[in-house]
């Protein structure tokens, strides 16, 4: 299985990054006693801050496991070919880290 962080907003896919390979490399570096801070792991906290600051764009961030032979480029092509079906599939099979679908998003209170 491959694991990815996927982030999108009302305008489309914005970010996708693999998690498994950088984590494996980081773990091996730690076991070898080497520096383990340059493996390009996605920073979910920074992504969620971006989503909170731009709440009008209705960001969603998911972590999803896919088959071994599926790459980030395959997921990007899937989003380009059929964005709504891609979002629905990720919502169904992934783990929501941040956000909720626009149709159920909390509406702002106007006073």
Q: Which two tokens stand for residue 20?
A: 């498994």
Q: Can you tell me the distance from the alpha carbon of 8 to that of 83, in angstroms, rounded to the nearest whole number?
A: 10
Q: How far lies 69's CA from each of 5, 23, 74, in Å?
A: 17, 18, 9
pTM over 0.75: yes
The mean pLDDT of 93-110, rounded to a whole number, is 73
**Higher per-residue confidence, 56 vs 101:** 56
Q: Note whether 31 and 25 are within 8 A (CB).
A: no
Tell me: the pLDDT tens digits for 23-60? 888 888 889 998 877 777 889 999 999 999 999 999 99
pLDDT of residue 109: 46
β partners of residue 26 = none
The percentage of the chain sitting over the pLDDT mark of 90, rounded to a whole number, equals: 68
């Amino acid at each position: 299985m491959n694991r990815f962080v996927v982030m999108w907003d009302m305008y489309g896919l914005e970010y996708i990054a693999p998690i498994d390979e950088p984590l494996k490399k980081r773990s091996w570096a730690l076991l070898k006693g080497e520096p383990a801070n340059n493996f390009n792991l996605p920073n979910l906290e920074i992504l969620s801050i971006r989503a909170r600051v731009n709440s009008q764009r209705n960001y969603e961030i998911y972590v999803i496991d896919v088959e071994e032979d599926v790459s980030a480029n395959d997921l990007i092509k899937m989003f380009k070919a059929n964005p709504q079906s891609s979002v629905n599939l990720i919502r169904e099979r992934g783990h929501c880290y941040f956000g909720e679908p626009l149709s159920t998003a909390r509406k702002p209170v106007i006073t």
